[in-house]
Structures are given as C-alpha cells and as structure tokens.
Amino acid sequence: MNMPFLKPLRTLSDVKDTLAWSSSAERLHKLIGGQLGNDQSRNGRADGNGKIDGSGRAQIAKTPRDVAGDGVAGYARLLSGEFNTEMEAPPVNLSPRRVKHTVKMEHNVFIVEGRRLRYAVSDNYDDTPLISLAPAKDTPKSSATRVSGRVSGRASGDKSKAMWVVSLHGFFAGGGMYWEESRYLAEGLGLRVLSPSLPGFGGSDPLPWAKVNVYELAGQVRLLMDHLGIENALLMGHSMGGAIAVAFAEMYSDRTLGIIYRDGAATPAWRKRSGLIVDVLKPFVPDVANVADLVAALVADLPDMLVGRRRAETIRALFPDFRRNVRSLGRTIPVGAMLFTIDMTGDVRDLVENSEIPLLPVWGCFDRIANSATAEEFEEVSDHKVLWVPGGHSWMLARPSAQFDILTRTSRGRAFLADVMLRRSMVE
C-alpha cells in the first residue's frame, strides 16, 4: 500500500539510524548502500544512490561536488567510499562488549600557580595487553574505572608500561564529558587516559585575560603532565582541543607521540560562516551574524547526541561539566574571543614539515561548526587526508566507542597507532 505521507517518517528513521551509528562497519555499509538508497532488495543489492555488492560493501557514485552545503559535502565523501574503503574485513558487530562496572566521576584538583585545574584519569585494572591490533569479535572483559587523578593500587597489570593519552576537550566542554570514550580506550587498548578540564571550563579556574591563548593553555597541560609524571603522550584534541594539541606539539615535540586531530579549530575556515542566517543578519549586524550562525550550528549538532542508542549515558556524561560551564559563563568568554582570532596554519605546516609526529585528522560528516570547508583547508595545509566518520561535530560524545573502532578497525587508524608505538619506542 503506497502511503506518500509516511515518506518523511521513513526518512527520519533513516537519519536516526545513521546518527545512532555505534561503529558497526557492516551495518554502516548496509545503511549507506541500501537503506539510504531507499530501494534495498533482499539479496543485498540496492538501487538509488548506491548499491551493495555480495560482500556488503557500498559502492557509491556520488562525489563531494554533487551536492552542496556544510556537512553534506562531508557526507557525500563518506558515501563515495572514503571511510568504508579503509575498513578491514569486519565481523557483524565491531562494538566492544558493554561491561558492567562502577565508573567514578570524581575529579582531582591540581593547584598550579594558585589556580585549580580539575582532571581525571581512566585506567584499566585488568591484565589487558598494552596494545592489541589484531581484530577481535569482543574486547576483553575488564573494568576500566575513572579514578581521581591517581593510579589506584588495585591495578593488577604493570601500568608503568602503559601509554598515556591526553584528551583535550572542545569549547564549552570539560574533561568529564569524554569519560565514556576514555573507558573504551582503557578497556580495549590498555591505555591510560588523562582528561583535564582546561582553564575556564569544567570547574577549573580561568587564566588571566592577558594569558588566554592556545600556547598558555598547552603550557597548563604540560604542567599537569609533569605533576603526574607523564613523560610523553598521544594527544587527542577535539575542536578547540585540536588547536591546543597542535600548540603543545610545536612547543614540546619530544613529549608528543602523535595527534588525533578531531574536527579541529586550528585553521581559520570555520570562522567564515555562510548560509541563510549570515545572509539575513550580515547587512544589519555583521558582527553578530557569524556568532548567530555558529550558535545555530551548535544547536543543530545536539540531535546527534540525543537520538543515539546511548543517549542516557551521553546526557549523564555531559551534564556535570555543562552545568559548571553555565554557572561560570564569564570564564569562557575570553577563550571564545581568542578562538575567533587564532590562525595556526603556519604551526600546522611547520609541524608536518619539521617533525615526525604521526597525525590522524578525523571529521564528522555532518559537522556544521567546523564545517567541510575547514576539513578541506586542513587537508591542504597538513597534506593529510581527513578520515570522515558518521556524525556531527561531537560524534565522539554521541558514540563513545567510535574512536576505539577507528584505531582498531580501519587501516589508517591501525597504521597510525603503529606509527605512534614506533615513535614511543624511539623517544624512550
């Protein structure tokens, strides 16, 4: 029975399934090749915008230039195979097994120069291998637990050999928002993840206005690493954190094992806003137009975090630091003003040309905050191809297992992790 009025509901269902992606590669191929084509047959082949061959891999004819608009161009790249061709032959379900355990959300406080800097550490307490690159159907049963800035004596493995990851959050976020993602990395790879709340965010005291810049913020991270005895680490920077990761690597290259640059703000293209809001407001209030469009992009990013399967866990992770940031809104204004002025194009070029630090840029294909033009700009500046993933600007908050799967299930992620391990063996 043909009911045209139900088509919008089917479309919304498809979009919800895409946004609720939980890192299952085969399911992603099917979504791309068939369900989004809206004409999938029983034998796995589909007409429309794409088709699936016998192996379940999508073959899409569209290119990024077939469509226009922020986020849509990135999605077209995803459909054209830029993500799924990176996949190793996947089992049906690549998501790590959910482990029932207690996760402590308590943060420790480091007093630096008279200011409070909040942070937390995620550790794996089982004898999980340091790094396991071999694909596996299930991750080891373990109990990665967030502890208050210290290594618990309950650890049964030798944690002195574990590699550190420093997770640098985005604007108006905090280290606690990434706790679920940290758990997956600690569980599946035996990593130790440091999640600081940068000055002015998540309850950390702000820097003086005169010192608000990415290099001072990177210096605060270095002081925290010194405090915890961390000699070197893999940097994982999201949005604003991506710019801070670049600054840290420029200043302390010998302590940087690699950079996972996620929807970053180090290059300036994200500030060049376009669209209906800008067109309407720019003739009258040009200074407000860009900010208004950015706020609209932020609002548009929220459904990605709320429609997924793990929305309850996502909300619980976001709320504490979000509440702290709302209560101290004035602390974030200087940082926001600073972000609208930085241009680290030269730093990125210098980092790529004059260091051997591995770099993995990852972008959400629906990102309208650091839009597809920003991704293209970073590709050109860094000479590193962006790895597109389903989701918006904060895809790692909506799907906390995604970064784990990128590092273990894609050829580029596995190669990057191998390069990081090689660099670690050289610097140590």
Each residue's pLDDT tens digit, 235-257: 999 999 999 999 999 999 999 99
DSSP 3-state helix, strand, coil percentages of the chain (rounded to 5)? 50, 15, 40
**Domain 108-427 grouped into CATH 3.40.50.1820:** yes
For residue 88, the model assigns a pLDDT of 42
**pLDDT exceeds cutoff 80 at 354:** yes
Q: For residues 279 and 283, give the distance between their C-alpha atoms in angstroms, rounded to a whole number.
A: 7
Helix (H, G, I), strand (E, B) or coil at 387: strand
- For tokens 């970073």, what's the residue? 378
For residue 111, the model assigns a pLDDT of 92
Report how far apart, in Å, the C-alpha atoms of 99 and of each of 124, 310, 322, 399 are: 12, 14, 26, 16
For residue 273, the model assigns a pLDDT of 86
In the chain, what are the domain boundaries? 4-86, 108-427
Residue-wise pLDDT for 6-25, tens only, equals 434 333 433 443 344 333 33
Note whether 332 and 339 are within 8 A (CB).
no
Least confident among 22-26, 91-95, 167-171, 326-330: 91-95
256-262 and 233-238 beta bridge pairing: parallel
Helix (H) or strand (E) holding 50: strand 50-52
Q: For residues 32 and 78, give the distance between their C-alpha atoms in angstroms, rounded to a whole number.
A: 9
**pLDDT exceeds cutoff 90 at 281:** no
Helix (H) or strand (E) holding 251: helix 240-251
Residue-wise pLDDT for 121-158, tens only, equals 887 655 444 454 444 333 333 333 333 332 222 333 45
**pLDDT exceeds cutoff 50 at 287:** yes
pTM for this entry: 0.76
Mean pLDDT within 177-185: 89
Residue-wise pLDDT for 326-341, tens only, equals 999 888 989 999 999 9
For residue 224, the model assigns a pLDDT of 96
Residue 324 pLDDT level (bands cut at 50, 70, 90): very high
Residue-wise pLDDT for 188-225, tens only, equals 788 889 999 999 999 999 999 999 999 999 999 999 99
Q: For residues 308 and 186, give the distance between their C-alpha atoms in angstroms, rounded to a whole number.
A: 22
105 vs 290 pLDDT, higher one? 290
Beta strands in 337-426 (DSSP E): 359-364, 387-389
Q: For residues 217 and 351, give the distance between their C-alpha atoms in angstroms, rounded to a whole number.
A: 18
Residue-wise pLDDT for 368-397, tens only, equals 999 999 999 999 999 999 999 988 999 999
Residue burial 188-214, b: 16+ Cβ < 10 Å; e: rest: bbbbbbbbbbbbbbbbbbbbeeeebbb
